[in-house]
Chain A
Amino acid sequence: MVEATAIPHAGPLRRLLRRKLALFGLAIIFLVVGGAVFAPLIAPFPPDEQLFEGLTLFGEPMPPGGDFLMGTDLLGRDLFSRILYGARTSLIIGVVANGVALVIGTLVGVLAGFIRGWFGAVLMRFTDLMMAFPALLLAICLAAIFQPSLWIVAMVIALVNWVQTARVVYTETTSLAEREFIAAEKTLGASRTRILFRHILPHLVPTLIVWGTLGISVTVLLEATLSFLGVGVQPPTPSWGNIIFENQTYFQAAPWLVFIPGAAILLLALAFNLVGDALRDVLDPTQRGAD
Chain B
Amino acid sequence: MIVGAKPIAAPLSGAATPLLCVRDLTVSVRDRGTVRPLVSDLSFDLHAGETLAIAGESGSGKSITSLALMGLLPNNVAVTSGHADLEGIDLPALPEAQMRPLRGAKVAMIFQEPMTSLNPVHTIGAQLSEAILAHETISRRDARAKAIEALARVRIPEPERRLKQYPHELSGGMRQRVMIAMALAMRPALLIADEPTTALDVTVQREVLDLLRDLQQETGTAIILITHDMGVVAECADRVVVMKSGRMVESGKVLDVFARPAKSYTRDLLAAVPRLGAGAKRGAPQPPAAQVPVARLVNAKVHFDLGANFLGRPTHRVHAVEGVSFDIRPGEIFGLVGESGCGKSTIAKALAGLVRHDGHIEVSGQQLSSLTAQGRKQICRDIQMVFQDPMAALDPRMTVGEAVAEPLLIHGVGTAAERHARAAELFDRVGLTPHQMSRYPHEFSGGQRQRICVARALALKPKLIICDESVSALDVSVQARVLALLEELREEMGVSYLFISHDMAVVENIVDRLAVMYLGQIVEMGTRDQVFGDPRHPYTQRLLDAVPIPDPARKGRPHIRPAGAQPSPIRPLGDPPAQLALRDIGAGHLVAALS
| A interface residue numbers (CB < 8 A to B) | 1-4, 179-181, 183-191, 194, 198-199, 202-203, 284-286, 288
Please give me the residue from chain B that is nearest to A4 by CB atom: B443
- Known interface pairs A1-B442, A1-B443, A180-B389. Does A187 touch B380 (Cβ–Cβ under 8 Å)? yes
Query: How many B residues are at the interface, by size bracket?
Result: 35 or more
Summed over the interface, the residue pairs from A and B with CB atoms below 8 Å come to a total of: 78
Chain A residues lying within 8 Å of B380, measured Cβ to Cβ, are 187-189
Q: Cβ of B445 < 8 Å from any Cβ of A?
A: yes
How far, in whole Å, are A179 and B387 apart by their CA atoms in the complex? Answer: 12
Q: A2-B443, A187-B384, A189-B381 are in contact. Are A203 and B353 (CB under 8 A)?
A: no
Partner of B353, one of A184, A186, A284, A288: A186
A266 to B116, CA, bound (A): 42
Q: Are B407 and A180 in contact, with the CB atoms below 8 A?
A: no
Residues of B within 8 A of A3 (CB): 443, 445
Chain B 199-213 interface 0/1 with A at a Cβ cutoff of 8 Å (1 = within)? 000000000000000
Given contacts A180-B389, A191-B410, A286-B440, is CB(A202)–CB(B381) below 8 Å?
Answer: no
Asked if A184 contacts B410 (CB within 8 A), the reply is no
Decide yes or no whether B169 CB sits under 8 A from chain A.
no
Cα–Cα distance between A190 and B396 once the two chains are bound (Å): 17
In the bound complex, do residue A285 and residue B410 qualify as a contact, i.e. CB atoms below 8 Å apart? Answer: no
8 Å CB contact of B406 from A1, A179, A188: A188
| B397 interface contact, C-beta 8 A | yes
Give the residue of B377, B395, B436 whose beta carbon is less than 8 angstroms from that of A189.
Answer: B377
**A98 to nearest B CB, angstroms?**
25
**Is B279 interfacial (CB-CB < 8 Å)?**
no
| Complex contacts, A4 vs chain B, CB 8 Å | 436, 439, 443-444
| Of A184, A186, A190, A284, most B-chain CB atoms within 10 Å | A184
Given A1-B442, A186-B354, A286-B442, A181 contacting B381 (CB threshold 8 A): no
Q: Which residues of B contact A (CB under 8 A)?
A: 59, 349, 352-354, 376-377, 380-381, 383-385, 387, 389, 392-399, 406-407, 410-411, 436, 439-440, 442-446, 453, 456
CA distance in complex: A285, B385 (Å): 25
User: Chain A: which residue is nearest B392 at the CB level?
Assistant: A180
B440 adjacent to A288 (CB under 8 Å):
yes
Q: From residue B35, how far is it (CB to closest CB) to chain A in Å?
A: 16
Which applies to chain A's interface (DSSP): helix, strand, loop or mixed? helix
Q: A238 CA to B152 CA in the complex, in Å?
A: 76
**Chain A hits for B394, CB < 8 A:** 181, 184
22 pairs, A vs B, C-beta closer than 8 Å? A1-B442, A1-B444, A1-B445, A4-B439, A181-B396, A184-B385, A185-B406, A187-B354, A187-B384, A188-B406, A188-B407, A188-B410, A188-B456, A189-B381, A189-B411, A191-B410, A194-B410, A198-B398, A202-B397, A284-B397, A286-B440, A288-B443
Q: Is the CB of B397 within 8 A of A179?
A: no
Q: Let me know if A181 and B407 touch, CB within 8 A.
A: no
- The residue that B393 contacts in the complex, of A181, A190, A198, A285, with Cβ under 8 A, is A181
Cα distance, A180 to B473, chains bound together (Å): 15
A179-B410 CB under 8 A given contacts A1-B443, A186-B354, A203-B397:
no
Task: Write the nearest CB–CB distance from B427 to chain A, whole angstroms.
Answer: 14
B445 cross-chain contacts in A, Cβ below 8 A: 1, 3
A285 to B354 alpha-carbon distance, docked (Å): 29
Shortest Cβ distance from residue B509 to the other chain A in the assembled complex, whole angstroms: 26
Given A4-B443, A190-B406, A285-B440, check contact A184 B387 (CB 8 Å).
yes
Closest A-chain residue to B402, C-beta based? A198
User: How far does the Cβ of B223 sit from chain A's closest Cβ, in whole Å?
Assistant: 30
With a CB–CB cut-off of 8 A, which chain A residues contact B443? Answer: 1-4, 288
Minimum CB–CB distance for B247 against chain A, Å: 18
CA of A183 to CA of B384, assembled, Å: 12
Alpha-carbon separation in the docked complex, A190 to B392 (Å): 17
Is B410 in contact with A189, judged by CB distance below 8 angstroms? yes
A183 to B407, CA, bound (A): 13
| Complex Cα spacing A3 to B377, Å | 36
- With the chains together, A186 CA to B376 CA distance in Å? 11
Q: Which residues of B contact A286 (CB under 8 A)?
A: 396-397, 440, 442
Nearest residue in A to B387 (C-beta to C-beta)?
A180
CB closest residue in chain B, given A283: B397
**In angstroms, how far is the closest chain A Cβ from the Cβ of B19?**
35
Known A-B contacts: A180-B392, A181-B392, A189-B411. Give 10 more (CB < 8 A): A180-B389, A183-B354, A184-B394, A185-B406, A186-B353, A186-B354, A187-B380, A188-B384, A199-B395, A285-B396
A-chain residues with CB within 8 Å of residue B381 when the two chains form the complex: 189
Question: What CA separation (Å) do A63 and B393 show in the bound complex?
Answer: 64
Instruction: Kindly list the 3 A-B residue pairs having the minimum CB-CB distance in the complex, ordered from nearest.
Output: A189-B380, A180-B392, A4-B443
Which of chain A's residues have a CB closer than 8 A to the CB of B398?
198-199
Shortest distance between the CB of A184 and any CB in chain B (Å): 4
Q: Are B392 and A179 interface neighbours, CB within 8 A?
A: yes
A184 contacts which chain B residues (CB < 8 A)? Answer: 385, 387, 393-394, 453
Query: Chain A residue with minimal CB distance to B349?
Result: A183
A190 to B353 CA separation, bound complex (whole angstroms): 12
A186 to B59, CA, bound (A): 33
Give the CA-CA distance A207 to B436 in the complex, in Å.
29
Whose C-beta in chain A lies nearest to the C-beta of B378?
Answer: A189
Shortest C-beta distance, A288 to chain B (Å), equals 7
CB-based contact B407/A189 at 8 Å:
yes
Q: Shortest Cβ distance from B37 into chain A, in angstroms?
A: 15
B438 (CB) vs chain A CBs: closest residue: A9
Cβ contacts under 8 Å, B436 to chain A: 4
**Which of A2, A181, A185, A286 counts the most chain B CB atoms within 10 A?**
A181
